[in-house]
Every structure is written in structure tokens, then in C-alpha cells.
Structure 1
Amino acid sequence: MRALLTALLLLMPLAASAQDPLTIATVTRAPFSMENNGRDTGFAIELWEMVAKDLGLEYTYQRANSFGGMLDLVTSGAADGAIANISVTAEREAKMDFTKPIFDSGLQIMVPNDEQGSALLSALVTRDIALSLLAAAALLFGGGMLMWVFERGRAGYFDRPARDAMFPAFWWALNLVVNGGFEERIPQSRPGRFFAVVLVVGSLFVVSIFVAQITATMTVTALQNSVESLSDLEGKRVGTVTGSTASAFLSARDMQHASYDDLDEMLDTFSEGELDAVFFDKPILAYYAANDGYGNARLIERTFKPENYAMALPTGSPLREQIDQSLLRIRENGEYDRLRAKWFGTAR
């Protein structure tokens, strides 16, 4: 009897601890984990709730202030697991366990939607081009007035006082250069005809040089500002999140970038035009571009470094096998595809 009582006393704390709700760490990463009207929601949150319901697990959420803080809760044993957009990496695997993948992801580049248009406009609206346009207008005006000197009293179009002839003379010179002039306004004097020929021939060279300058500016601007690959990020203001796989990816390639502890801070900086590009998780950027950044951001199609998200668990967690089996059941019965379609519009 004494031995039985001793065994019961030893088992009572274990039984009590088995009934304690699990602590699940998370961090705000829309659309995987976020708060809406005081309620935890998101793709990863709802997936975990499916697993917990399937396994009959009680739990409470602990929302960390940063992604690294969430993982620290797992490695320190303060949390029984973590759920969000957690990429599986060798470095993290050495410190914790992971379940089977819950989402296939990768890294992607996001740039302002009007990136090329704004850059081209700023390149074209320059002091040199403005001076060139003013010089061309001055030459046309001067040429028109000189033709007025040659043709007044000989051609009806130019037979008017100097003050009244200013705009008609400029208009005549502009049409001569652009359209070859008007048949009914052919110069009548020899000096006028000679000057008209010089003006037309000279304008061919001037217009060709001006067009070449504009074309060269547009080409160079398009090449310098178009972002289609990692190499195009050189010299750009690039942002990502501190401690993320995206930051490690850029650092491994010695690519300069700004790191932000907070995702929202980085996205706010991008929306204010202080970043030329953002390099981060593909689904996170896609969600932002389709919601808060709609119309102002676009994603480069190429996906860099494909990776998987999974639930993080403390090393040696007894929950790993149960959760893996539950995830397989959720995929097999179609609940996973329905959940993914709900949040991302497609099952795959």
C-alpha cells in the first residue's frame, strides 16, 4: 500500500503537467500569422488549430515582438512550439526540430511599380535637355523673324508689323522644320529661299542629334534602373529583415543591404520611397503587393533559393511524430488545399 501511494504521488505532477496547455510562440507575419480584432488568425495559425483539434491539444499563443525572439522561446524551452513563416535551414535545425513542411516558399525581389517610369521621367527632365529645348525654340523664333525681314513686302503671310509677326514667324519656322513648310508660303526673295534651305538642312542634323540624345538617355536609364536579377541590385538601396534567410543569402554574396528588425518598418520605408527594392520571402511580399502595397509594388517573377516553411519544436519534442501524422491526414483529406486556397487563392 505504501509503495502504491508513493507511485501515485510521483505520477500526480506528471499528470498535471500533461494537462497544462501548450505554449505556441508566433510573430506577426501576414498572411501567416497576425491579429485581427484581438484574435489570432492567418494561414499558419489556422493550420495549427486544425492540427491541435485533430490531436486534442490545448494551447495558448505567445506572440513575440520579433522573429528571432519567437525562435528563442523555442530553443530556451519557454515555448512548446512555434508557428509562422519559419524557413527550415541547417543552422536552425541544429538548435531545434522541425515538422514536415507546411508551405513551399522562396525568396523574391519587390520593386516600386513605377520604378522605370519615374526613373525615365527624372532622367528626361534635366537641365541639359531643358536648355536644349529652349535653344531650339530660340533658333526657330530667330529664324522665323529673319525670314520676316527677308519676306515682308513680298509675301502676304509676312506682310505685317514686327509685333504681330512674332508668333506667325515662329510658327512658319516650326512647320518648315517639322513638315517641310506650306506650299502657299514659299519664300519669294532669293535670300529667303536660300535661308529656308539652310534652315531645313540644318534642322535635320539638329533634330537627329536631339533624338539620339533622348534615345540614349532612355536606353541607359532602362538598363540602369531595371531590376530583373540579383546582379541588378548592385548600387541599389535594398532592404530585408534582420536574421532572415534573405539577409543571410545577401550577406553570403557580399551584397550591401539594410536590415530591419521589424517587417512593418521595412515595408513602411519601402512605401515611402526610401528603398529601391525589398528582398524577402515570396508569399509575404506577394500578400503585401496585393493588399497594402496594391498598385505601388510589383514582384520580379524569378524565385531565388526555394525553401520550405515548417513548425518549429524544441529538440527531441515528443510532439513531432504526432504533428507530422496529423499534417499528413490534413493534406490527404483536402483540408490543407482548402485552407491554402482561402489565403492564397490557389491550392498550389
Structure 2
Amino acid sequence: MQRRRPRRLAGWAGGLLVRLVVLAMLLPAATAAAQPAPAAPGPLPQRELVIATRNTPPFSMKAASGEWEGISIDLWRRVAQGLGLRFRFVEYDTVQAVIEAVARGEVDAAAAALTVTAARRQIMDFTQPFFATGLGVAVARDNGATAWLPVFRTFLSLSFLQGVLILLGIVLSVGILIWLFERRQNPPYGGRALQGFIAGAWWSAVAMTQAGAAQDGPRSLPGRILAVIWMVASVVTIAVFIAGITSTLTTQRLQGLVRNAADLRTLRVGAVEGSSTIDFLKSQRIAHDGVNRLDLGLRALREGRVDAFVYDRPLMGWTIQQDFPELDLLPITLDSQNYAIALPPENSIRVALDVALLETLRSEWWQQTRFRYLGRDTAP
């Protein structure tokens, strides 16, 4: 009986080992089968596709020949030709009209300057983004009183007030020490404490600013030593203070009226209705006047009916360069935006378009296309 037990135990252990080996071999296959398979490209339509677009240079615009061109248009042509798709362009007047046409399925895609937003994503589909940028701010070129508004704002800022208070504190501290050293030997500093303190503070201020010959200078040895130290130190103090103020004022003039979104709350702001700019301004609680087209908004800015205009940076930069040279595009970027090709909610071509887009965006052709329309200053 004792010999049979080890044999039974050995047989049971061997069977268990075999089961474990088999389970280990089958587990990866079972795990792979449980994972969802990646979406496969659907069948590409054989009919002619209808592609919505609108005039938004440099992404989509009509050439003199009547043919559409631009960054988005050229990219769509490249991708569609690679997939063997037939298509034709249909022009819409406003971005809202393009969005509604895509959302209702009246068109098969939209190639223009459409940014991906949460609100739009709820009613339509998008391909992989092909261009990243942000909102730009345009203002009228500095002139008259408007050019000095940033300077006045600097003088009213908390940092400027702090600098003045620190400088005033140093002057008063030196004045108190001069009064304490001179009150028993120098008549102007004697008498009542307030009178002596005022005399010391006045001498300290005159010596620092070198506004004139400092009268009733110190006579005691400690007072004269302090006076020499203060007159030398005050030259450095004033130089540093003036240099700091000059640098700040120069920076404010260069930056202009707007440095960030908060500065827009004090200005009359314009924006294109139906664009993603409106969503951003509302989220920042910035009051704004809406216009139907970018050129109308820039015209209002030029005529002084608004103080700043906010819109997609590359679109506004192109339009200002072409038609509004008297306006300036500030060197700041608000928010962040991704441009993509818009598709109806239920479509069968997004996966195929994404694959073709990802291959195209890594090509030398895409780098040359961006450079041709935007030059070297392009977003990644």
C-alpha cells in the first residue's frame, strides 16, 4: 500500500503539470480572441462624392481660373486621388452652412478650415487633424492715444506701485537716520521730531534725485559718512529703477493692447459668428460683436468700430497680409485648434482617409505644400 501511494501522487502531479502547460499555451490565443479587432476600412463609394468648402484663404480659395486650391483643398485632392475617389466641390457662404450640410449628410465631406470642437464632434465626424494652430488677435497699428494705453496701464499696475513704495521706503529710512545723527548738532534737524524728520526726508530725496544742491547737509561724522554712502548708492538705485521702468514700458508698447485673454475684457472685441472663436470668447466671458465674414470684421477694426478682432491665426494672418496692411497681428496665440476634414456622422470612409492622411502628413509633399502657402512660420 505504501508503494502505491507515491505512484498515485506522481501520476496526479504529472497530470496537473500537463494541464498547466496546455492552459499556458491556450491563454494567449484566448486573450487575443477576447480583444476587439481594429476597425477595418469600409468599402469606398464608387459614386462621385460631394465635398463642401468655402472661401477661407489660405486653406481653401478659388484661383483666377476658377479652380479651388489651398492647403485643405490640395491635401484632399492628394488623399482622394490615392484612394481612387471621384469628387466635386460645392461652395457654401458661411462656416455654419458648411457644418449644417455635413451634419445633415447633404455632403460627403468638407475640406476648408474647420476646427475640431466638442460641440461639432457631437453632430459630425472628423478625420485625423492635419494642422495645429490657435486663435490670433489683430489690432490697428499703434497711433495716437491708443498707442499709449499700455503705458498708462503700466503706471497703474501693482508692480509699478510696489517699486515706487520700495524706493520711497529707502528714502524715508535714510532721512530718519540723518535726522537722528544731526538733531543735536544741526539746527535745521532739531526742534520738534516732526520738523526734524521732514528735514531729513527732504535732504534724502534731494540727494537721491540730484534735483539741486542739497541744503543743510550733515555736519556730524556719522551723518557725513551716511551721506556719502547714500549719494553713491542713490545713483545706482535711480539707474536701476529707471532701467526697469524703461524696459517695462518698451515691452508694453511692443506687446500692444492685448497680452492675454484677460486684456480683451476691457476692449471692444469682434469675431466671426458661427466659428469656434465664439465658443472661446464665451468661455472666457469676453463680450464681443459678431460679423458674418472675416473681411467685414477686419474692416470694422480698421475703421475703429472695434479695438481688437479674434479669429483663427493663419486665416487672419493671410488676409491681413493680402488686404489689410495697416493692421497688425499680435505675437500671441490664444486657445489651441486642430484643423481636420469633416465627415457626416455615419460614413464608411473615415478609416481609409485616416490611413491615407497619416501617410501623406509624413511626406515631403506635405512639407512643401505648407511652405508654399504659409512660408516658414507654420505650426507643427
Q: TM-score per shorter chain, which class?
A: 0.5 to 0.7
CA shift, 1:18, in A, is 4.1
Q: Does 1:102 align with 2:133?
A: no
CA shift, 1:116, in A, is 6.3
- Residue pairs, 1:22-41, within 5 angstroms: 22-37=49-64, 38-41=66-69
Find the aligned partners of 2:354 and 2:253 in 1 and give their Cα distance. 49
Give the partner amino acid of 1:62.
V
2:359 maps to 329
Say if 2:294 and 2:316, in contact at 8 Å, map to a contact too.
no
2:332 maps to 302
CA shift, 1:314, in A, is 0.7
- Residue 118 to residue 255, structure 1, CA distance change in 2 (3 Å): closer
1:73 maps to 101
Find the aligned partners of 1:333 and 1:108 in 2 and give their Cα distance. 28
2:185 maps to none
1:288 maps to 319
Number of corresponding residues:
236
CA shift, 1:27, in A, is 1.3
Say if 1:116 and 1:226, in contact at 8 Å, map to a contact too.
no
CA shift, 1:104, in A, is 0.5
1:158 maps to none
CA shift, 1:250, in A, is 0.8
Give the partner amino acid of 1:105.
T
CA shift, 1:302, in A, is 2.0
CA shift, 1:240, in A, is 0.5
Say if 1:116 and 1:222, in contact at 8 Å, map to a contact too.
no
2:186 maps to none
Residues 92-141 of structure 1 show CA distances to partners (whole Å, capped at 9, x for unaligned) of 111111000111111121111225675449x9xxxxxxxxxxxxxxxxxx
Farther-moved stretch of structure 1 (299-308 vs 57-66): 299-308
- Look up the SS of the partner of 1:86 in the other structure: coil
Say if 2:46 and 2:85, in contact at 8 Å, map to a contact too.
no
Find the aligned partners of 2:58 and 2:144 in 1 and give their Cα distance. 29
Say if 2:138 and 2:310, in contact at 8 Å, map to a contact too.
yes
- Residue 238 to residue 336, structure 1, CA distance change in 2 (3 Å): same
- Look up the SS of the partner of 1:234 in the other structure: helix
- Residue pairs, 1:170-185, within 5 angstroms: none
2:266 maps to 235
Find the aligned partners of 1:332 and 1:233 in 2 and give their Cα distance. 38
Q: Does 1:247 align with 2:274?
A: no
CA shift, 1:57, in A, is 0.9
Give the partner amino acid of 2:359.
R
- Residue pairs, 1:11-160, within 5 angstroms: 18-37=45-64, 38-115=66-143, 119-120=147-148
Residues 194-250 of structure 1 show CA distances to partners (whole Å, capped at 9, x for unaligned) of xxxxxxxxxxxxxxxxxxxxxxxx99x979x73222222233221101121111111
TM-score if structure 1 supplies the norm length? 0.62
- Look up the SS of the partner of 2:367 in the other structure: helix
CA shift, 1:260, in A, is 1.0
Percent same amino acid among aligned pairs? Answer: 34
Find the aligned partners of 2:147 and 2:374 in 1 and give their Cα distance. 32
The RMSD of aligned alpha carbons is: 2.8
Find the aligned partners of 1:236 and 1:95 in 2 and give their Cα distance. 33
- Residue 322 to residue 116, structure 1, CA distance change in 2 (3 Å): farther
TM-score if structure 2 supplies the norm length? 0.57
- Residue 303 to residue 117, structure 1, CA distance change in 2 (3 Å): same
Alignment gaps of 5+ in structure 1: 1-16, 124-217
Find the aligned partners of 1:117 and 1:284 in 2 and give their Cα distance. 29
